[in-house]
A and B are shown apart, each in its own frame.
Chain A
Amino acid sequence: MKTSLKQEFYKFRHQRIPLYGAIALVILMLYAAVSSSDVNRMIIAQGFGAGQWITIIMITIASTFVAMEYENRTIMTLFYKSSNKSAIYFAKFIVMVVYGVLMLIFGMLLTFILKAVMVGGKYQWGAMYGQHSLVTDLVLNTAGTFIYLLFIITVAFLLITLIRVNAAVVGIGLVIIFMGADFSSLIMSALPHLAAIIKWNPLNMVFVINQLANSSYEKFSDLSLLQIITGNLIYAVIFIVIGDLLFKSRRV
């Protein structure tokens, strides 16, 4: 595991893609800041959409990070040099989680800068609004995004192991992120008698991004805070276990 981790970190930090991910985040947050007619407290608390942008960036990067092994045919060398294929899979997962955390921290720093530039002293970080201060809301939204990142990275890994086509995985990932919540709400309202079961569907898990800071999202997800956090973590475990089994069993 140690060797795999060392190798995966080595490969990741020698790529341009982590830098491109950070640049993309700057551009997307800037876009969110300048395109909104009124930079209000809510958009600041949501880190100028950082949660959503990081999720999109991460599904792309996570999928590419696995796909490159098949594209460059390095998977064969990785496999024969290691007795533990799972170690390779989990090392990649850990690298992605670490990168995700760094992106979240970077997103928070950018939020501080953008807020200072866009609205200056308006909306004090420590000023209470409802239950939380602005900075607490930002931290909670970031924590919510972190939980969803675990879910989305495992989804990306599972999908790329299954279909091996990077573009398709990114496409499916974007559908999950952008349309998953609406689709989930639609099914729950269309089938109210099954809502108790349907609310646990994976598309519903995206609400965790905002639900930590804003409990009113509970009415969209139909899950309590504890339920949605647990749901995300359980799905992450299921996806990573299935992904790992597929990763190990696919012919190279």
Chain B
Amino acid sequence: MLNVSNINTFIGRKKIIKDVSFQVNPGSIVGLIGPNGAGKTTIMKTILGLTKFTGTISVEDKTVTENNHAALTRVGALIEHPAIYPFLTGLENLKLYSLDEADMNKVVSMLKMDAYINTKSKGYSMGMKQKLGIAIALLNKPQLVILDEPMNGLDIEATILIRKIIKQYAAQGSAFLISSHVLGELQKVMTNVLLITEGKIIVDEPIDEFNRGSRQQYHLLTEDMPETEKLFVENQIPVTKSDDYLVISRELSDQVQDLLYSHHIRLVELSPQGLSFEQTVVSLLQQQRRQSHEN
């Protein structure tokens, strides 16, 4: 679907994006995460052919260049701020880009904008403008949707709604590339993580793998802890103790469950332990910074 290969983006003489490659497959929701100034928006602008770059970008095998955006016909985007003409109503703003009126009306109802879509957008609140910006990005059944901080200014209900819509579109095959500072929000929808810092991608993997990597240990509690400990010693299963729990490695969790089951010891708790998603991201960024300083 989207194929980004060895791109370098320059602003003036400064290289902002450094040899970045990644793919976004149909139906996937890729979270682009990184600190301020890491290059998230620049990558998005580069994909949209808005910056000078080297390397190749293609959407559905059609190449995107600075001067050829034919491949972007079915790409929707919201970059930095909603691009809205204040003198037009919400619907008129949508009509400017819509190729299918039925689809446009569907997007309006889906985003619950019917009540104000026919009023001039200059009177919209920040959240209403943001929803309109997202609506523009979702027009014409896009193959790829690029959203830069889509949850900005949205209240909790709107945030949940947008999350639901993103999942709905992804289920129908649309791919998403989303950046957000609210990692918790992103974590709830994304299927893949792209972690970027100083213009370089340092993590590119499915969210499950990413989470697994940060959760190497499990806390175990059974109905009969002395018998459990004895069993583990007999079977040479390495464990450590932490408060009332036994700590086992993630790889052994299946074996341990089978063993306990075969000896009729009931599980009370078996929970993954480790860093949260946010902690893992911060830890990886710090690690990367340390490496950069050392080099």
Contact = CB atoms under 8 A, between A and B. Distances in A.
A80 B67 contact: no
A76 B83 contact: yes
Given A11-B88, A11-B96, A252-B50, A74 B69 contact: no
A80 B48 CA distance: 6
A35 to B, nearest CB: 33
Given A10-B96, A77-B77, A82 B83 contact: no
Interface residues of A, number: 20
Contact of B83 (A7, A11, A74, A251): A74
A72 interface: yes
Given A11-B88, A251-B51, A77 B69 contact: no
B81 interface: yes
A83 B83 contact: no
B207 interface: no
B100 to A, nearest CB: 15
21 contacts: A10-B95, A10-B96, A11-B85, A11-B96, A14-B85, A14-B88, A14-B92, A16-B87, A68-B85, A72-B85, A73-B80, A73-B81, A74-B83, A77-B77, A79-B49, A80-B72, A80-B75, A80-B77, A81-B69, A82-B69, A83-B68
Interface string A107-142: 000000000000000000000000000000000000
For A14, A15, A79, A251, which residue has the most chain B Cβ atoms within 10 angstroms?
A14
Which of B11, B50, B75: most chain A CB closer than 10 A? B50
B21 to A, nearest CB: 21
A68 B49 CA distance: 22
Contacts of B97: 77, 81
Contacts of A10: 92, 95-96
Interface string A54-76: 00000000000000100011111
B88 A72 contact: no
A10 B97 CA distance: 11
B24 interface: no
Contacts of B51: 251
Interface string B90-111: 0010011100000000000000
A71 B182 CA distance: 27
A15 B87 contact: yes
Majority SS at the chain A contact face: loop
Interface residues of B, number: 28
A68 B86 CA distance: 10
A73 B83 contact: yes
B50 A80 contact: yes
A222 B84 CA distance: 48
B136 interface: yes
A11 to B, nearest CB: 6
B80 A81 contact: no
Nearest to A80: B48
B79 interface: yes
Q: Which 5 A-B pairs have the closest CB atoms?
A: A80-B48, A77-B83, A74-B83, A83-B69, A15-B87
A22 to B, nearest CB: 16
Nearest to B73: A81
Interface in B116-156: 136
A67 B249 CA distance: 61
A11 B84 CA distance: 11
Contacts of B86: 72
B70 interface: yes
B140 to A, nearest CB: 10
Contacts of A79: 48-50
B70 A74 contact: no
A68 B70 CA distance: 25
A74 B85 contact: yes
Contacts of B70: 83
Interface string A26-55: 000000000000000000000000000000
B48 A83 contact: no
Nearest to A249: B52
Contacts of A11: 85, 88, 96
Contacts of B92: 10, 14
Contacts of A74: 83-85
Nearest to B84: A72
